């Protein structure tokens, strides 16, 4: 069975990390397919939101430590065992940051190491009340190599990011919510349904506008206010010409739910 599953239904693409017997530890196949599937979803006009989740009890336990100890797989020490031939723009976590389609992380279980960075790279995180975030990099002699050092200070501030990184303590669901690392904590059995509910609400909105909002949130992290406002205004002029804008206005005037087509 494939290490990663992909399906599309009702404008929602679901990407499932599928090594439940290894708590979805990252394999080469998973790493290669994940980036491709994120690009597939971003390029598919029928996809308006992505749910990223894991099979079984865990979301992702990170690098496969057993394979690494044996000198193979991600992080292996044998020549050719790593992914140094990849540019950073080809890595799934970089692609995750750059796609415009919204990505909702359904943390069905714990996220550690690479799995934590992967979750932090998503736009929205729903977390099982039985799950933990495991930022144990300092206990393994490494750093968050796939976005964690970029995301954490922006999500929780400098001091909290230092606390999380330096202490390397596990973060149970309640603490993750308190810190603002997740949007909601959900009873474990209800995570898939709640993720689909959030995804359906996103998918019901105007996809051109939703993608533009995400794109401008991302650009706003590095632009000055005046430049950012100018770029937003240019995009707004384009959206005013879209069928979705006209549908949104008519739905408002006719007191009905809009039916957006992404055009």
Residue-wise pLDDT tens digits, 206-217: 999 999 999 999
pLDDT digits (tens, 9 = 90+) for 149-179: 899 999 999 999 999 999 999 999 999 999 9
pLDDT digits (tens, 9 = 90+) for 9-66: 999 999 999 999 999 999 888 888 999 999 999 999 999 999 999 999 999 998 776 6
Confidence bin at 89 (pLDDT 50/70/90): low
Lowest mean pLDDT among 56-65, 182-191, 213-222: 56-65
Domain annotation covers residue 103: yes
Confidence bin at 256 (pLDDT 50/70/90): very high
Q: What is the DSSP string of 89-143?
A: GGSHHHHHHH--S-EEEEE-S-EETHHHHHHHTSSEEEEETT-EEE--GGGTT--
Please indicate, yes or no, whether residues 249 and 157 belong to a single structural domain of this protein: no
pTM of the model: 0.89
Please indicate, yes or no, whether residues 73 and 16 belong to a single structural domain of this protein: yes
Please indicate, yes or no, whether residues 85 and 174 belong to a single structural domain of this protein: yes
pLDDT digits (tens, 9 = 90+) for 122-143: 999 999 999 999 998 888 788 7
Please indicate, yes or no, whether residues 211 and 183 belong to a single structural domain of this protein: no
Please indicate, yes or no, whether residues 176 and 213 belong to a single structural domain of this protein: no
User: Structurally, how many domains does the chain consist of?
Assistant: 2
Please indicate, yes or no, whether residues 54 and 95 belong to a single structural domain of this protein: yes
Domain annotation covers residue 262: no
Question: Which residues span the domain enclosing 66?
Answer: 4-203
Domain annotation covers residue 159: yes
CB 261 within 8 A of CB 248: no
pLDDT of residue 64: 75
Please indicate, yes or no, whether residues 211 and 185 belong to a single structural domain of this protein: no
């Amino acid at each position: 069975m494939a290490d990663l599953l992909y399906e599309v239904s009702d404008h929602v693409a679901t990407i499932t990390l599928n090594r439940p017997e290894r708590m979805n530890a990252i394999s080469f196949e998973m790493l290669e397919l994940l980036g491709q599937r994120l690009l597939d979803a971003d390029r598919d006009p029928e996809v308006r939101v992505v749910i990223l989740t894991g099979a079984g009890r865990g979301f992702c336990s990170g690098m496969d430590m057993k394979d690494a100890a044996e000198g193979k797989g991600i992080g292996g020490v044998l020549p050719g065992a790593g992914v140094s031939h990849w540019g950073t723009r080809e890595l799934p976590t970089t692609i995750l940051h750059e796609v415009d389609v919204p990505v909702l992380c359904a943390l069905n279980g714990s996220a550690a190491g690479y799995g934590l960075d992967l979750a932090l790279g998503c736009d929205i995180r729903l977390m099982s009340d039985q799950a933990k975030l495991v930022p144990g990099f300092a206990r393994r002699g490494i750093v968050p190599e796939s976005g964690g050092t970029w995301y954490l200070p922006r999500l929780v501030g400098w001091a909290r990011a230092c606390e999380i990184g330096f202490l390397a303590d596990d973060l149970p669901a309640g603490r993750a919510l308190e810190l603002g690392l997740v949007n909601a904590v959900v009873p474990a059995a209800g995570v898939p349904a709640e993720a689909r509910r959030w995804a359906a609400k996103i998918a019901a909105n105007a996809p051109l506008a939703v993608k533009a909002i995400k794109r401008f949130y991302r650009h706003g992290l590095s632009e000055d206010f005046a430049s950012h406002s100018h770029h937003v205004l240019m995009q707004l002029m384009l959206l005013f010409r879209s069928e979705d804008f006209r549908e949104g206005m008519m739905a408002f005037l006719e007191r009905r739910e809009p039916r957006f087509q992404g055009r």
